[in-house]
Structure 1
Amino acid sequence: MQQPVKATNNSLIAGFLLVISLLLVLAGVGLVYLRAMNQTISHIVEENNERTRLVTEMYIAARERPIQLHGILGEPDPFARDELAQRFHELAGLFRRAREKLLKMPLSPLEQSLLQQQGVHTARASQAQEAVLDLAMAERKDEAERLLLSRAIPVQNLATLRLRQLLDEQIRSGRAAAGQAHEQYHLARNLMLASALAAMLLAGLIAVVVIRRQGKLLLRLREGEREARVMLANIPLPIWFKDTGSRIVWCNAGFEKIAGKSLNLLSGKGEGDIWGRVEGLKNDLEDQKALETGQTRREDRRLAKPDGQQGHYIIARTPIPVRAPDGDGGWKGVLCVAQDLTTLEHMNELLEQANQELQAQKTALDEHAIVSITDTAGNITYVNEKFCDISGYSLRELIGQNHRIVNSGLHPPEFFQTMWETLMSGQVWHGEIRDRRRDGSFYWLNSSIVPFLDLDGKPTQYIAIHTDISARKRMEASLQDINVELQRRVDERTEALSRAMQQLEGDISERTRSQALLQQQYQQLESLHHKLQEAQSQLLQSEKLASIGQLAAGVAHEINNPIGYVHSNLGTLENYLRDLFTLIGRYEAAEAALPSEAPERGELDELRRKLDLPYLREDIPQLMNESKEGISRVRKIVQDLKDFSRLDSSPDWQRANLHQGLDSTLNIVHNEIKYRADVVKEYGEIPEIECLPSQLNQVFMNLLVNAAHAMEGPRGTITLRSGMSQSENEVWLEVADTGKGIPAAIRDRIFDPFFTTKPVGQGTGLGLSLAYGIIQKHHGRFNVESEVGKGTTFRITLPIQQPSSSAHE
């Protein structure tokens, strides 16, 4: 009896132990499964959060770059523009780093396609934005604004649209992954409940482990939600969240700005408390439609802000589910995002106003002047009524004809060659020209021809504005005949007076001879004293300039060598890259011949996706072009520095181009001028002259620096002109400014040594004195015209050929 009972007990114990063992195995399997599921969910959450963060950074950077360009166009301070430009380039780096990180993460085929499309649009947008920035930095704000509206913003909107689609795709894939993880969680929970029915203790231990794991996961989810709220709060677009009752729960700073209230005052309120009862009801109705359909609804609204101003917005309302949209959890509320179109509308209004002003100016111009427009070949595309009246041709006879139809044959081919060279260089041509009417008679015009340039600086058409000066020309011819007759009569009277004066002079010559001798001796002594002072000051300044010239030439020589290495290496690198891309293209062609199931083809596709090869093909040539352009600019500055110092040229008299010397000097003193004035060049046709180029460069530098220092208050203008004298054996140069001018009381003293109007320590008083001495040495002349409050003009007149005795001194 006892042995069967003992056997039974042993069997029960063995069975219990077996059940316990089985339960422990089941619990262990469930625990391992829960651990793996927890790691999977954590990985999904972290990966989705990281991808969302990277896309959001790219979206913010892409949206902020046009805003920075708007700020640069509207900023008058050049230093502030430089800071905005630096931020503009930093955003490009931030965008590029985020994109590279995103490419290294696993992406779906749709996400890869959207990212590739975004890369193409972003490359085009970056190129257009860089062109806008260059135009803005060059003070061509109107062209920059037109380029921004016509090219940069539309392409940028395409890129941001792809980013929004990529973000929506990531949210969808994240929801799908969360749903799958949710199903796995239910399976594990059922397994644990089955095990808990037989072993509550083991179930309790497992429950503790699960709760701890879930607590950590919940903490991570809350941290992710907090990070998402921070990112949404920093997005410049207005964003707010409403519950199912259309009451505001949360909003960012952008919405607080347009609402005029903080989140504390807006929480629990409806949109009717902000925009008014009527608009509030419309918006609440849109919320309910979004909740009913489960789809994002977009609307175009004009809303009145609390300050009374009306804003234009595109509002997107997206329902947010409690859990996956295909579940039964219902909806949390509606997330609203608004895009402000008020600024774009204002820019369109300004553009329309500018068009109206241009039309009014065209009408006024047609009423006042003779106007014609031709293409680059000289064929007439437009004339006004005044042109038809003076030429005798009808509009139908002129349109499509070459402008040679009114050529009078008076002017030589060189005249028109000079005119075309000026226009093809992008400069305005001014001159007087004689044309022929249809009836064969002639008329004179004072013409100004303006080239219209494209983005590459090449002329696309020419507009000519003429003034009829035929009457003036006839009057000039009559005056010339009268002058000849008057000159003949004056010569006759002068000859008679000369005979009388000769007799009178013979009587008084002896009396004045002794007095003249004494006066001559006194003037010689005074002249020698003045020349001694000038020679001393010129010697001091010449020694200083020689030291500066030697230093400048040495620096230019030392810089030229490494620049040559870099320029040569860039050219070689560009050829290497071109060969490398050619080789990659051949590899891609060869790759197409591989079987689709070949493992090498999959590895090549993955490598091409990670490297983003199409983006590199567009970005690398652009980077090489920018580097070569920068090296060329440095070489140009170094060459101008060498030209200015002239240490590598002969110190003797030589023939030189004054325009080249003036341009190189202008490049040297550019830093003194760029923040004070704009430089306008109105060069005429002048030949090379015999001179000492380095000394004339010193004269140009003194005049340009003085003109820049004369600017007070708003930004001024420095105009450089040149031309031939009427005798055609002299040339002249003018430096005109719109500065404060020179008072008449001190105008006669400006060429005196050591005379200066600048504060102590800012001027030696030798600049104009030395310049005057240099011009006198060149047998030239200095003329000064100035008006207080309007500006000053210095004119230098120099002979083309120096006297033989001076050229050998």
Structure 2
Amino acid sequence: MTTLKNIEQELLQSHRFLNNLIKSAVDAIIAADMDGKILLFNDAACEICGYKVNEVIEKLNIQAIYPDNDAKRIMHVLRSDEYGEKGVLRSFRVDIKKKTGEIIPISLNASIVYDDDKEVATLGFFHDLRETLKIEEELEKTRVQLLQSAKMASVGELAAGVAHQLNNPLGGITLYSQLLMEDYTLPDGAQQDLQRIIRDAQRCTDTVQELLKFSRQTTNEMHPQDINQLLSETLILVKDQTLFHNIEIKKNFQNNLPLVPVDIQQIKHVFMNIILNAADAMEGQGVLSLSTSQEQALSDRVCIEISDTGHGIPDDVLIKIFDPFFTTKEQGKGTGLGLSMAYRIVEDHGGKMSAKSKTGEGTSFLIELMLPENNSDGK
């Protein structure tokens, strides 16, 4: 009798131990019978899926936690050897659906439980990928920014060399063309040709000046500034231009933003460039939205977002917009250096600049300017 009690006690202890293991697991553990009725649902599963245990056990079908027909698809894959050993899935990427309808990315390890050769249940271990994917996204952004920085540095050096080589010949072309223009014995056709030469030489000179600005290594005059005020001052300069007469300007500036150390002229140049590009993209009609904020989760920076309701930028073009000399404007209407210069200025300020766009809906530029460490609390 004592031996039987000891066995019962050991079984109870083993049962409690196994329950505690399942209950304490970091990943969600879910088991269901072959009809889909859930038999096991640990605390992590409750947290990820948003259900309480008493709402699930023997009440909820496993299909309820998957979007669409994913439960059937997973069973099909489990029963095949398409992804490795039959009856087993390892690190299989799926989505699950919370009680609220929110979709959660998951890495699933699952297996079919057999009694002899009969399928009796499925067991799954669900690892939440949200944090992992967020980190991967940040790493990819950092990688792209590093590549862009390296590209800008290389092009900057090349641009400086090219600009200096072109400056003198262009000056000579312009000077001698102007001298020839003073020769009144030239036929009218020659006068027109010379005017065309001077005009095109001037356009080349303007491009050279942009190159020199792009490549110039100057020391920024950094002073604490009110970003809202700088944006407002930039708007004053452009809003009366003909291009802006049919554009609605919406401002959503957060009050009491901390002062940001910037070079006033350079940052205004960035704002001006993006605003003019936005107006151009909307062809003088639409909504230009400007907002500033300091999010609680990102208290070390002030964010500026400038959005338009233009035609938007296709994905294959969007990845190139910060490249020097890349432009979608017709020949003679843009050097392709505006956004690359803006990107470089923001980068020189220790900040970040990015863009997102949807074809047919518009484009949004985000500028993140960093605050000094002792000022990141917003005071």
Higher strand share: 2
Larger radius of gyration: 1
Q: Normalised by the size of structure 1, how large is the TM-score?
A: 0.20
Q: TM-score, normalised by structure 2?
A: 0.41
